[in-house]
Structure 1
Amino acid sequence: MGVTTAGRLAELVGRLTGGELPIGLRAWDGSTAGPTVGPVLVIHSRRALRRLLWSPGELGLAEAYVAGDVDVEGDLAEGLSAVWSAVGSGALNKPKVGVGDWPRLAAEALRLGAVGPRPPAPGQASLQGRLHSKDRDRAAIAHHYDLSNDFYELLLDDSMAYSCAYFTDGPSGDLAAAQKAKLDLVCHKLGLHEGSRHLDIGCGWGSLICHAAAEYGTVSTGVTLSRAQYEYVSKRVAAAGLADRVTVRHADYRELADDPAVRGAFDAVSTIEMGEHVGDAEYPAFTQILHDVLRPGGRALVQQMSHGVNAPGGGAFIETYIAPDMHMKSLGTTVDLISGSGLEVRDVHALREHYDWTVRAWHRTLEDRWDDVVDMIGEVGARVWRLYLVGGALAFAENRMGVDQILAVRPGEHGVAGMPASRKDYGW
């Protein structure tokens, strides 16, 4: 019996990577190779090989999945985890290819149909202009957050909180209860109470500003760059009867630096998973705004994702298809930048496992409502989100990404912070 297509592919992978297939493989002709137990990568078309030839690694494989050129039979998360483990152990990054091997490898690639024109990218963002210019940031935010309010209402719980929840009862807890617990946690850390002047930069669909106003009596202002979010929050505020307590601005956060009316005007400022969209060069100015909008003694809370010590963070797929121009920093870098603005960091609270549980809950909803999702955002869009959510949960579970709440204060005269003496006095 001759060498099968799957066998040729396995041999090619071995020569190029120096390792064996971490999961099973089935080629378009039905032939198989690799492990016989666990997930199986099904290659439907030679076009998948062309994608990998043009974009080797994570991005090419992700595009092949999104386009439907490949599928995974079995547990997608288990398959991705096996690949990550192989890469992390070095099993797939020690190629055994010499100059004399290239003619044979090229001939094998031709025989398999891997050589050909670059296939079109399925649905990625196309951004123009200078990185983190206001116009480009607006387009990047629109690509992700203006996708469809109906889709986000389907995916999220009633709070419309699109950020890490706080599962006080562990991973089996209810998502809606965990999101409410997160909102309460933020409000307690900020010391919000009746009449507190509160600013939320990157307010999303208004979950925090509406909760703070309704439950704690704040006078809250939200800022969002997304037109769809601005319109949604405006309607939400009116429907909830909170127009006298909640204001939403459709603006770039940088406009706050030029507005004298907000300087020192707030008792508290929050920014929940918005800092990842601020570029490295722009981040010092961003943290300076957090400082400047506060009165002396005012508190700031930054909830932000981070990359692991030896991990890149979001990765090529997320930064191409989900959140273009996103920048993740290490936790230490973010703390240093916040301190550099004149704010005093008082507490850092790691929530990494909670994000794994949050994203898994979103993924369950996606699968349960798959047909509705496809109707809303198309098959390609649905596959993008499936891969994003499965891969994202794994990244948090395996400590390749983290998320933290960083509480800081703007010191008053002679450095007085006015913070509680012990953690139990914070109310959380």
Structure 2
Amino acid sequence: MTAPTTRDSRVPGQRRGARASAADVLEPVLHELFAGPPPFALRLWDGSTTGPADGPRVLVRHRRALRRLLWQPGELGLADAWISGELDVEGDLAEALSAVHRGLAGRPVGRPAPRSWPALAAAAARLGVVGPPPPRPGGRARVRGALHSRGRDRAVISHHYDLSNEFYALLLGPAMAYSCAYYTSDDQPLQAAQEAKFDLICRKLDLRPGARLLDIGCGWGALARHAAVHHGTRVTAVTLSARQHAHARTLVAEAGVADLVDVRQCDYREIAADAYDAVSCVEMGEHVGKDQYPDFAARLHALLRPGGRLLVQQMSRGAAAPGGGAFIEAYIAPDMHMRPLGQTVDLIEAAGLEVLHTEAMRPHYARTIDAWRATLTQQRDRFDALVGRPAVRLWELYLAGSSLAFAEGRMGVDQLLARRPGDADRPVRPAEWYGN
């Protein structure tokens, strides 16, 4: 049962009959927007509060946060206010987001009816939030050109992955893997879970000494290094990111496998067709694009020898929400497209590949992201020094929202194993993948 709404409508020292507080003015607006009491409490810039006492508490530190919402209602306005420090929460951000999401379930939230506009405009004027649009915080992607042209795709990748190798090394840990780990026990640390993921991929691909692996979207080179060091595989590792390319080259050289690993900075469309024994694509397919994916799948088929195997690890979501949302599109990864797993299976099969096995990994991703979030929280001062406080707040919001999306089943991630049909297909034995 929801506790009664509590509100201190007076700032400290204010006498009865004095000027109304921000909470007094805002409370009927919130009831109009949420078709009832809001599912969270608010503490406003003048010290007044409104909302249920037992809900999460949102802090509006500056009236400029509301001006942002006037000019840009919804997710992006809220994100800009958060990144700018004008909006905050008490306690854990992910818990607050989850509570608000649960509280909103079934509520007809949306634009107020036109009959309410005059009253809302008057409230905005009384709150002092009417004015020109505030300047946007830094960090939004600036990309131009035709959707999924090579130049645009390169700019999109550079925006996110070229932020700072030092930042990613601190966030991701020694594994330097920016993808879902694979936890084999309840108490396994992140580093070991990432290594378990690398080895699971190598076993599914049946990698053996001398085999040739093409790793598309190789990140900072961790999988390529693992395949070379532990399986004797010859690897061609490909990335669009200049900083990933430089790090991966150093990584394989320090591991003593530079003779086995060729790291290239190029687009997957620039790779010459060859007879690779295996191809891996770990969380890169989301960047390919809806209309481009059939050609991408056909390209994967052409790059494999008959009997060669393909491992795609890829995020998925419902058909009604194929992108990452307004915040993700603006700040993290523009032009993303995700689909239900079954549709990806259809596209892979339409390209002439035989799907052998799929494995859902969604709970592993929530745990992976929570490990990154813990590092970001525990070492916030170091992250601030590396990229600045607004960028750290951006990442706090990004990781908290992403963790919830996987934990609550609104997004998934799957490993899909396929092969190009051939005359001497080695039998698939999943029991071998999960052994010692």
TM-score of the pair, normalised by structure 2: 0.92
Determine the structure 2 residue equivalent to 1:354. 364
Distance 2:173 2:318 in 1: 28
Distance 2:56 2:417 in 1: 42
Consecutive unaligned residues of structure 2, counting only runs of 5 or more, are: 1-15
CA shift for structure 1 position 114: 2.9
Distance 1:13 1:418 in 2: 62
Asked whether the equivalents of residues 56 and 100 of structure 2 are also in contact (C-alpha less than 8 Å), the reply is no
* Aligned residue identity for 2:400: V
2:141 to 125, 128, 138: 125
Asked whether the equivalents of residues 410 and 417 of structure 1 are also in contact (C-alpha less than 8 Å), the reply is no
Identify the range of structure 1 (222-231 vs 45-54) with the bigger mean alpha-carbon deviation.
45-54
CA shift for structure 1 position 285: 1.2
Determine the structure 2 residue equivalent to 1:210. 225
CA shift for structure 1 position 312: 5.2
Asked whether the equivalents of residues 306 and 313 of structure 1 are also in contact (C-alpha less than 8 Å), the reply is no
2:42 to 14, 25, 31: 25
Answer yes or no: is 1:162 the counterpart of 2:178.
yes
Distance 1:337 1:323 in 2: 23
Identify the range of structure 1 (25-34 vs 128-137) with the bigger mean alpha-carbon deviation.
128-137
Asked whether the equivalents of residues 132 and 279 of structure 1 are also in contact (C-alpha less than 8 Å), the reply is yes
Distance 1:22 1:326 in 2: 31
Q: 1:19 to 1:200 in 2, by over 3 A?
A: farther
* Aligned residue identity for 1:32: T
Distance 1:228 1:191 in 2: 30
Determine the structure 2 residue equivalent to 1:401. 411
Answer yes or no: is 1:54 the counterpart of 2:71.
yes
Asked whether the equivalents of residues 65 and 81 of structure 2 are also in contact (C-alpha less than 8 Å), the reply is yes
1:114 to 129, 141, 155: 129
Distance 1:119 1:134 in 2: 34
Distance 1:296 1:40 in 2: 59
Distance 1:325 1:75 in 2: 30
Distance 1:425 1:179 in 2: 19
CA shift for structure 1 position 173: 2.1
1:298 to 308, 322, 329: 308
Consecutive unaligned residues of structure 1, counting only runs of 5 or more, are: none
CA shift for structure 1 position 94: 6.1
Structure 1 residues 4-403: aligned runs within 5 Å:
4-87=21-104, 89-93=105-109, 97-123=112-138, 124-170=140-186, 172-256=187-271, 259=272, 262-263=273-274, 265-308=275-318, 311=321, 314-403=324-413
Q: Find the residue that maps to 1:166 and give its secondary structure.
A: coil
Distance 1:72 1:399 in 2: 24
CA shift for structure 1 position 100: 3.0
* Aligned residue identity for 2:53: T
Number of residue-to-residue matches in the alignment: 417
Identify the range of structure 1 (99-108 vs 67-76) with the bigger mean alpha-carbon deviation.
99-108
* Aligned residue identity for 1:419: P
Distance 2:407 2:322 in 1: 15
CA shift for structure 1 position 98: 4.0
Distance 1:313 1:34 in 2: 32
Asked whether the equivalents of residues 80 and 136 of structure 2 are also in contact (C-alpha less than 8 Å), the reply is yes
Q: Find the residue that maps to 1:268 and give its secondary structure.
A: strand
* Aligned residue identity for 1:6: A
* Aligned residue identity for 1:156: L
* Aligned residue identity for 1:271: C
CA shift for structure 1 position 175: 0.3
Distance 2:431 2:214 in 1: 25
CA shift for structure 1 position 49: 0.7
CA shift for structure 1 position 425: 4.0
Q: How big is each residue's C-alpha offset from its partner over 1:271-313, in whole Å with a ceiling of 9 and x where there is no partner?
A: 0000111111111111111111111110000000111366555
CA shift for structure 1 position 76: 1.1
Q: Find the residue that maps to 2:188 and give its secondary structure.
A: coil
Asked whether the equivalents of residues 307 and 314 of structure 1 are also in contact (C-alpha less than 8 Å), the reply is no
Asked whether the equivalents of residues 152 and 160 of structure 1 are also in contact (C-alpha less than 8 Å), the reply is yes
Distance 1:384 1:131 in 2: 25
Q: How big is each residue's C-alpha offset from its partner over 1:311-336, in whole Å with a ceiling of 9 and x where there is no partner?
A: 55522111211112222222122111
